[in-house]
Amino acid sequence: MADETVLAAARAWIAADPDAETRDELTAILDRAADGDADASADLHDRFDARLEFGTAGLRGVLGAGPNRMNRLVVAQTSAGLARFLLGREDEPHVVIGYDGRKNSSVFAIDAAKVLAGAGARVTLLPRLLPTPVLAFAVRHLAASAGIMITASHNPARDNGYKLYLGGDSAGSQIVPPADARVFEAITAVVDEDAEIPRSADYATADESLIEAYIAETAAAFALPDIDLPWVYTPMHGVGWETFSRVLTAADAPVPALVTEQVEPDPEFPTVAFPNPEEEGALDLALATARETGAELIIANDPDADRLAVAVRRAPGEWEQLRGNEIGLMLAWSAAERAAREGRTGTLASSIVSTPGLGVIARAYGLGYTETLTGFKWISRVPGLIFGFEEALGYLVDPEKVRDKDGISAALAALQIVLEQRVRGVGFDRYRASFVERFGWFGSDQISIRVTDLSEIGAVMERLRAETPASIGGISVVRVDDLRTGSAELPPSDVLRLQLGDGARVIVRPSGTEPKLKVYLDVAVTDGPAEGRATRGAALLTRLTDGMRALL
């Protein structure tokens, strides 16, 4: 049952909460808990026994009342703590704030602007709901001290988040340790002081020239062939289309057919179970539109347009959605070719859970290759970066413009590749075969286990550490890397990496943004006749996936 401490905390929260909706929500729960309702008591403890912390992408959580939810009071306290952190580093920090089309995104953005301005920071608010990459661009373009993006990216409709970027030495990348811990300490101090948080409406709104600069730089980074292509685009009820449409115009790109049901921002995401283009069924309406219009290509962004999904028509009526790793290798090959033509050197980078095929491309072109922990806050910081990606549909194709994944720039890069192959008269199957001939076959699969009790994830991780299998699917385990203690290349992280024979690999880790255990399976076949590599690799991947499912 709820004890008096949590009941008192809930009452204090109601007194301080500026939002009538969450006040009423919490009041109803508090009344039920006071009457002995066990479910209401458990709900109170879930909301008040912990506080949202900075994870893979800053704050992210379910909308609702309490410190362990996303709400106006948490945003205000977080912004006050951030202001304290920034003012400890410089006299007049400049913070730029963006927001997407999710529920309360604009409200949270204005609250953050008022609190930061009230603390003495200079604040620039983006003029309307815009993609995350535009905010990431603005941090660098305006030489800001920090950037805040109010978004929960591809999470369910009930979620929102507070994504934090830093300027200065971080050059516009997302926040990483130890800065995240210091910001959290400052937030905790604000909460403990329990004083009124000053607010001010003395903040600026960015003018259209900022968005125009992003559009111009994105379009100028690619040279699209002058050839037509029937294709389909969907922003998946998000904010991508307005900006992407202007990029396409500036780049003289062919005009796509739109998934009309998903073009306008809608925080309820009514046509998809999850607004994540990786999820099964998320592209169903795009596929239907493609069949109706005779399209050959589908490009999709997630709701804040920092991720890219691609599907290609293999034959009339036959479509294939490409895995994130294959899109990443396509974009990497193109980036390496461009660097070679321009005489540039640098590094290709990916997260440790992404395909090892990136290293093969890097070696083929004499480029550096770096693996990082999961998240673009790490990838974007790789020195000399030319291109970076992670398998979860995140791609950084223009690191000098944006230090985060950018689904709009990546979409234009993918469109360029397809148009170039069309000019050469090369279909996708031939393009894919050319890649396998040159670099090898790289296949990947993923197992995700969604839980309601987060302790289940820890229990599975501990079991795998204590009882590491000698083989998986009949493939021998030759080395186990437990990254919990870190390594010479990587800081500590709750990750198990199993290297197997026959070019196979398994990586297991908890998700940083969702209540999931994630298992990444990879197979590489780089030897033997090129025409047999795909068959051999697919068979190995099936054995590996079946074996891991049985183990779990």
Active site residues: 153
Give the tokens for residue 103: 């529920």
Query: Bridge partners of 297?
Result: 231, 312
Contact 167, 144 (CB under 8 A): yes
Those residues whose C-beta lies under 8 Å from the C-beta of residue 290, and which sit 6 or more positions away, are 232, 257, 298, 311, 313, 319
User: How many CA atoms within 13 Å lie on the side-chain side of 524?
Assistant: 19
Those residues whose C-beta lies under 8 Å from the C-beta of residue 50, and which sit 6 or more positions away, are 67, 68
3-class secondary structure, 261: helix
- Longest alpha-carbon distance in the chain: 73
Instruction: Give the Cα separation of 231 and 293 in Å (integer).
Output: 8
Please provide the size of the chain in residues.
552
Give the tokens for residue 179: 């800065």
Give the tokens for residue 115: 């609190």
Contact 506, 519 (CB under 8 A): yes
3-class secondary structure, 300: strand
Contact 518, 398 (CB under 8 A): no
Instruction: Give the Cα separation of 40 and 7 in Å (integer).
Output: 11
Give the tokens for residue 304: 């804040």
Contact 444, 435 (CB under 8 A): no
- Among 134, 200, 142, which Cα is nearest to 163's? 134
| β-strand pairing of 204-205 with 122-125 | parallel
Give the tokens for residue 511: 């998700």
Angle between helices 407-424 and 240-250 (to 10 degrees): 40
Find where tokens 């800001």 sit: 144
DSSP secondary structure string, 114-157? HHHHHTT-EEEE-SS---HHHHHHHHHHTT-SEEEEE--TTS-T
Instruction: Give the Cα separation of 30 and 67 in Å (integer).
Output: 15
